[in-house]
A and B are shown apart, each in its own frame.
Chain A
Amino acid sequence: MAVKKGAAVSGPWRVLVGLNYPPNETRAEVGDIVNDLPAADAAWLLEQGLIESPNLTVEASS
């Protein structure tokens, strides 16, 4: 299953680059699976290839 770029999606996410996120500067390292990333940030993180869905791949919108 693929997700269109920019589509509203939710976790869990596999972290591909180390991240800090609220609350309390939670730290996620490469390979971690996280459920609590702020939804508003998921889009840019996906677009930059910094996170991915453990079950989904992202394709560019046509």
Chain B
Amino acid sequence: MPTFRHGKNSRLFISTIDASSLFNEMTMSHSVDTAETTVFGKDDRTYITGQRDGTFSASGFIDATTAGTGDPFAKLRNALGSTSLLQITAVPGAPGGSTITAGSMCHMGAGVVTGFETAAPAMGVVTAKFDAHLSDRYDIGRILYAPGAARNSTIAGTAVDSGVVAGTTRGGASHFHITQAGTAGLTSVTVKTQHSSANSVWADVHTFTSTSTGVSRVASTGTIKRYVRGTISAVSGTTPAVRVAIAFARRGSVA
């Protein structure tokens, strides 16, 4: 019996922004180029695959309550023409509500912003829309840790079981989004992805240490054992209330 997800609980992390409360629709497209190989004598066309590609778009409403560095749309507008990529983690129909259930499927990529659009209808809400073209790998992975509340102490997230007893062999990519660092400053926080063969001993896969809000996308090759999880450690500062989203994608045929 399939378990369907309603889109209402979808979540979206863009760089250091938890943009979930700003958007109400998003589309994640994955595709691959095809090159035709049809030769004389064939009644049907044949193709081989080329490079994978991906795009992302989201639309919602302009938040006009903040300005300057607090403007959540500034990153999107400023990204137009920038050489920097925007790191995107999109969780369609995220189960768990404000705290996303570990293991929820997500789309993970870093993209060039190709468009930012604002519309102001006379009889409607001012809307915003942005589009991105993903650069390099557009992964499909799993949320490891994305709580609704901020944290100020160490925690190990719930283990996510791939079901592959021997683990997977093509490496993986981690996304870390620190979207809140605390009102009086954060001295340091370390976030990690870890893997384990039997949900017992956990070995670091990727690590990101930051002293403020920040974002990191890390990929590596090699074996990823059956279980993965996210952790927060070394949280220090006056009021280190950090809000973190951690996701991991296995590369190969298992997400």
- Residues of chain B within 8 A (CB-CB) of A58 are none
Cα distance A17–B193 when bound, in Å?
Answer: 12
Q: Are A19 and B203 in contact (CB under 8 A)?
A: yes
How many angstroms between the C-alpha atoms of A34 and B104 in the bound complex? 35
Interface 0/1 of B31-68, CB less than 8 Å to A: 00000000000000000000000000000000000000
- CB within 8 Å of A: which residues of B? 156, 192, 194, 197-198, 200-204, 207, 222-223, 225, 231, 233
Cα(A17)–Cα(B222), bound, Å: 14
Partner of A48, one of B156, B203, B207: B203
Residue tally, chain A, CB below 8 Å to B? 16
- A residues with CB within 8 A of B: 17-22, 25, 27, 37-38, 40-41, 44-45, 48, 50
Q: By the criterion CB–CB under 8 Å, are A37 and B201 in contact? A: yes
Closest to A15 in B: B203
Residue pairs across A and B with Cβ atoms less than 8 A apart, 7 shown, are: A18-B203, A20-B194, A21-B201, A21-B202, A44-B197, A45-B201, A45-B203
Chain B residues near A22: list those with CB within 8 A.
200-201
Q: Could you tell me the distance in whole angstroms from the C-beta of B50 to the nearest C-beta in chain A? A: 34
Contact for A19 among B197, B198, B204, B233, CB less than 8 A: B204
Q: How many Å lie between the Cα of A48 and that of B167 in the bound state?
A: 11
- Least Cβ–Cβ distance between B170 and chain A, in angstroms: 15
User: Considering the complex of A and B, which 6 residue pairs feature the smallest CB-CB distances, nearest first?
Assistant: A41-B201, A18-B204, A44-B197, A21-B201, A20-B202, A50-B203
Q: Is the CB of A40 within 8 A of B200?
A: yes
